[in-house]
Amino acid sequence: MNDPNSEPNPPAPSPAEPPPLPPDAQAAYAARAAKMRRFDLPFAALLPVFGGALIGLVLRLIFNGAPGSAWAPMLVVFILIAPVVIGAVTVYLAERRQARGLRYHFFAPWLSVGLCMAGAMLFVLEGAICVALIFPLYALLGSIGGMLMGALCRWAGWSKTPTVYSLAFLPVVLTLFGVGHDEPSRIDRVERSVLVQAAPETVWRQLLDADHIRAAEVDRAWMYRIGVPTPLAGLTHEDAAGLTREVRMGKGIHFRQRSADWQPGRYVQWQYQFAPDSIPAGALDDHVEIGGRYFDLTGTRYTLVPHGAATELRIRMDYRVSTGFNWYAAPLARWLIGDFSDTILQFYRHRAETAAAA
């Protein structure tokens, strides 16, 4: 029993407070905590990138019409606005989580654009050729969208989520109103020349008949580097209508070059003829198909000019580009065709000089 006259039990002593951490230890602890918060979810830093890419992929699924349709992906409203939207959404999602710098605003949209294009290729919405040709423009426009959204979020204090996502469907709204459906045509030509150490007759034979073409002879041309199949052979015969050259390329591509205007050893003017089965499905992207809605080669002319024992071989390639963004597509086509012209002239030069030496 407890003695009523005894003193009550004293309270248990509270545990001593831990001594404060030294300043250096506190800084290290804070740094570790911040690092853990940055990686609180797997791949959390990439969530804005995935979000921007997803918006772009949804738009690409909407704009999946055939060439010339109201929802074709080559419409200028899709080409120009979709990458801006991808960049804006990427930066907006990132800024909501953590303030970012100008470098993030500029370069992060590149990842979103690249991921969106990879998804389009995965779902067979785009081919490698189109992706390689359009990526520089998409990356630049994505950066513009990211920089604009970064300025709105950081300096204007703008954070209206419904408005941001409604802007993502601006291309859809403009298309419904028929904006950006124009596809003006631009006709242009490229001319190149090379000096061949062989007689015109030798060069002429190589122009008419080139068989067993190896990829290594022509694959330095950028059009082949980005996925266009390399040529295999080009053999010519003469009939009542003129010269006919049968051209075979990789992936089953075949077509004819016809000429009613030529002089042996001096010049030949080729026109292109494509049959319904000339380009098998999947061999080329629809958007860069020769003779298609957006691009065509209208003629190729070779001219041979004697220079003593040598021959100057000239090429002139006429082509058409028909898009709503010819300011980008036409210079790109000119560069690719010019690069191809240089490569094919070197091919004929090498073959003719080899034949002359033999």
pLDDT above 70 (res 23): no
What single-letter DSSP state applies at residue 325? T
pLDDT, residue 292, reads: 83
pLDDT above 90 (res 30): no
pLDDT tens, residue by residue, 183-237: 999 999 999 999 999 999 999 999 999 999 999 999 999 999 999 999 999 999 9
The DSSP element (H or E) to which 305 belongs, if any, is strand 295-307
Question: What DSSP line would sit under 248-285, residue for residue?
Answer: EEGGG-EEEEEEEEEETTTEEEEEEE--TTSS-TTSS-
Phi, psi of 201 (to 5 degrees): -65, -40
Question: What DSSP line would sit under 83-144, residue for residue?
Answer: HHHHHHHHHHHHHHHS---HHHHHHHHHHHHHHHHHHHHHTTSS-HHHHHHHHHHHHHHHHH
pLDDT, residue 41, reads: 46
pLDDT, residue 36, reads: 45
- Mean predicted confidence (pLDDT) in 229-255: 94
pLDDT tens, residue by residue, 295-304: 999 999 999 9
pLDDT above 50 (res 275): yes
pLDDT above 70 (res 4): no
Query: Comparing 44 with 274, which gets the higher pLDDT?
Result: 274
Q: For tokens 């319904």, what's the residue?
A: 276
- Mean predicted confidence (pLDDT) in 323-329: 95
pLDDT above 50 (res 355): yes
pTM: 0.82
Band of pLDDT at residue 247, cut at 50, 70 and 90: very high
Q: What is the percent of the chain with per-residue pLDDT over 70, rounded to a whole number?
A: 86
Band of pLDDT at residue 168, cut at 50, 70 and 90: confident
Picking from 79, 80, 135, 84, the residue whose alpha carbon sits closest to that of residue 105 is: 84
pLDDT tens, residue by residue, 72-113: 999 999 999 999 999 999 999 998 888 889 999 999 999 999
Burial 334-355 (b: 16+ CB within 10 A, else e): bebbebbbbbbbbbbbebbbee
Q: Which two tokens stand for residue 277?
A: 């089965």
Query: Comparing 168 with 137, which gets the higher pLDDT?
Result: 137
Lowest mean pLDDT among 40-44, 191-195, 288-292: 40-44
pLDDT above 80 (res 326): yes
Lowest mean pLDDT among 18-22, 35-39, 195-199: 35-39
Q: Which two tokens stand for residue 236?
A: 């010519």
pLDDT, residue 22, reads: 66
- Mean predicted confidence (pLDDT) in 274-278: 90
* Amino acid symbol at 211: D
Q: Which domains does the chain have, with CATH numbers?
A: 41-176 (no CATH), 185-357 (3.30.530.20)
pLDDT above 80 (res 154): no
pLDDT above 90 (res 10): no
pLDDT, residue 40, reads: 45
pLDDT tens, residue by residue, 112-135: 999 999 999 999 899 999 999 999
Distance CA 288, CA 290 (A): 6
- Mean predicted confidence (pLDDT) in 231-257: 94
Query: Comparing 63 with 26, which gets the higher pLDDT?
Result: 63
Band of pLDDT at residue 164, cut at 50, 70 and 90: confident
CA-to-CA separations, 289 to 68, 100, 253, 285, 303, in angstroms, rounded: 14, 42, 11, 6, 27
pLDDT, residue 17, reads: 54
Distance CA 106, CA 144 (A): 7
Query: Comparing 314 with 168, which gets the higher pLDDT?
Result: 314
The DSSP element (H or E) to which 3 belongs, if any, is none
pLDDT above 60 (res 12): no
Picking from 159, 175, 169, 210, the residue whose alpha carbon sits closest to that of residue 344 is: 210
